Amino acid sequence: MTAASASHRLLNFVQSALLLGLMAAIAWIAVTAIVGPETGLLMALAMVGGLLFAPALPRRLLLSAYQAQRLTGRDAPGLVAALAELARRAGLQRAPALYRVPSRLPNAFALGSPEDSAICVTDGLLNLLDGRELAGVLAHEIGHIANCDLWIMSLADMMSRLVSLASWLGQLWSAP
């Protein structure tokens, strides 16, 4: 795998913009139905502000929020070596840092930028998969980094969190 070409990045951007625009429209309709047009407009502006600033959050702050702990070659030699090899094959300048997140839910995610990225794996995933399967998960996350998907993924994540928050607030406001 090589770094993403300009046409591939443009196609990803157009597709992502369309999907995010559709998600934003659905979110705005749902929020407006729950809280009314005036509050819906304020929440929509807050969402746009959050979406604009979320990707700029420092990687260290996000890792701290997840209580992520760095895994080194001493902690997980096979995983760190596999990650370095995958990063080399993907043409990345350097391997992402590897972190463990204390959660029983099996999950993995990448964050940061291609120049300064990290991959997080949860305890649930580490306990569920063998080394070969974990290497496949790491390869998937490396693919996101190599194809410059991290920014758009963070926007989609932020949007889903804001819609969840709006849903929760709607349940509180509509409770008797």
Active-site annotation, residues: 141
Distance, in Å, from the CA atom of 58 to the CA atom of 69, rounded to the nearest integer, reads 16
Residue type, 93: Q
| Angle, helix 6-35 to helix 150-174, in steps of 10 degrees | 10
Round the CA-based radius of gyration of the chain to a whole number and report it. 19
Tell me, letter by letter, the H, E, C secondary structure of 29-72: HHHHHHHCHHHHHHHHHHHHHHHHHHHHCCHHHHHHHCCCEEEC
Chain center to CA of 28? 22
Q: Nearest-5° angle of CA 132, CA 150, CA 155?
A: 130
Give CA–CA dist 79/85, Å, rounded: 10
Using CA atoms, how far apart are residues 120 and 110, in angstroms rounded to an integer? 6
